[in-house]
């Protein structure tokens, strides 16, 4: 790769295509259980689902850009530092926090129909509610995989933080081309359909989704710190 980079054969388009290849395959498989569960538990409306999906993807793009810039500045040591333990630990923590975030909010604020709280309007797009998708997007960018390792190696061989950041941004924009853009809103719509006419299911849906997120997080922590 260093020879190809010096010869100009590795371009931003190459990094973008590498990101697209991951976004269309591994990204969907890895990220959908987390974001799909989040949207399902919240029974997200269309606006909120697209907002949270966009924030999630923005977190990924930003993290890839920062990681590649850092790799360009300090070299290949970053790829070694971001081993499976670090990535899985961060993902586990973000997933558990997302699950606890769901539990701390009453079912009615996720769109539930509680007869005693009908006087309060439901607000779907509170700024603070975008934090879990943002954290999940940033954390899942650390998933140990060959495309990420290739990106960091490419950025390290670029030899400078700005050029590394450019490769990371191109890679992140490519990775944002993912079926998650459609699948997460569908999960939110499924949650709304399940809850429609069944107000008593709202709390159970939130609890179930929170439990899944917490269990996913614990599984990641177990991978990071095997006993």
Query: Token match 């997120």: residue?
Result: 213
Instruction: Using the Cα atoms of residue 219, residue 140, residue 161 and residue 2 in order, give the sign of their dihedral.
Output: positive
Confidence band, pLDDT 50/70/90 cuts, at residue 83: low
Position 76 pLDDT exceeds 80: no
Structure tokens at 169: 């941004």
The pLDDT value recorded for residue 122 is 37
The pLDDT value recorded for residue 119 is 37
- For the entire predicted model, the pTM comes to 0.83
Q: What is the mean pLDDT of residues 65-87?
A: 77
Q: Rounded CA gap, 201 and 179, in Å?
A: 28
Position 27 pLDDT exceeds 50: yes
pLDDT digits 0-9 by tens, 108-142: 444 444 444 333 333 444 556 889 999 999 999 98
Confidence band, pLDDT 50/70/90 cuts, at residue 16: very high
Closest to 16 in 3D by CA, of 55, 51, 64 = 64
């Amino acid at each position: 790769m260093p020879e190809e980079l010096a010869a100009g054969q590795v371009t931003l388009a190459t990094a973008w295509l590498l990101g697209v290849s991951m976004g269309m395959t591994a990204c969907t498989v890895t990220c959908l259980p987390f974001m799909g569960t989040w949207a399902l538990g919240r029974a997200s409306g269309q606006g909120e689902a697209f907002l949270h999906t966009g924030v999630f993807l923005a977190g990924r793009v930003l993290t890839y850009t920062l990681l590649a810039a850092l790799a360009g500045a300090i070299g290949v040591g970053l790829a070694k530092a971001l081993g499976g333990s670090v990535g899985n630990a961060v993902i586990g923590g973000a997933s558990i926090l997302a699950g606890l975030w769901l539990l701390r909010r009453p079912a009615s604020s996720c769109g539930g129909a509680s007869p005693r709280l009908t006087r309060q309007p439901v607000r779907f797009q509170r700024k603070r509610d975008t934090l879990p998708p943002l954290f999940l997007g940033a954390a899942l960018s650390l998933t140990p995989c060959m495309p990420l390792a290739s990106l960091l190696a490419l950025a390290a061989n670029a030899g400078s933080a700005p050029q590394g950041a450019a490769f990371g941004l191109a890679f992140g924009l490519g990775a944002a081309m993912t079926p998650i853009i459609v699948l997460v809103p569908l999960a939110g719509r499924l949650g709304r359909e399940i809850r429609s006419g069944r107000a008593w299911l709202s709390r159970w849906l939130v609890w179930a989704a929170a439990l899944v997120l917490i269990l996913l997080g614990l599984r990641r922590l177990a991978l990071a710190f095997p006993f």
